[in-house]
A = this chain, B = another copy of it.
Amino acid sequence: MSPFSPLDPLLHSQLRLAVMSLLIGVDEAEFTFLKEQTQSTAGNLSVQLDKLEKAGYIEITKSFRGKRPLTTCKITQKGVTAFESYVENLKKYIE
């Protein structure tokens, strides 16, 4: 038996992992907040958020604040579970 469990490829990505890490600690977060916290480009962030949403790990809500578009992200229960089990698996690699 291998001592290593497979790591969810969707979470084993620096930017997506950082996003999930941020979202797990808050109720919800805006696109611009995620962008500045992760130091990512908007394009990269947009793509990665899409993937997380398609996987059902986050929900993305589009609205307006005043006249400006506003993108808000929230982790789902499925996302929380996936994140937690990713972390459990990862620990076997780094202990």
Chain A interface (Cβ < 8 Å from any Cβ of B) = 2-4, 6-7, 12, 14, 17-18, 21, 36-39, 87, 90, 92-94
Contact = CB atoms under 8 A, between A and B. Distances in A.
A23 to B, nearest CB: 12
Contacts of A4: 14, 18, 21, 37-39
Contacts of A92: 21
Contact of A14 (B6, B21, B36, B94): B6
Contacts of A7: 14
Give the number of copies in the complex: 2
Nearest to A95: B21
A15 to B, nearest CB: 9
Contacts of A94: 17, 21, 87, 90
Nearest to A15: B4
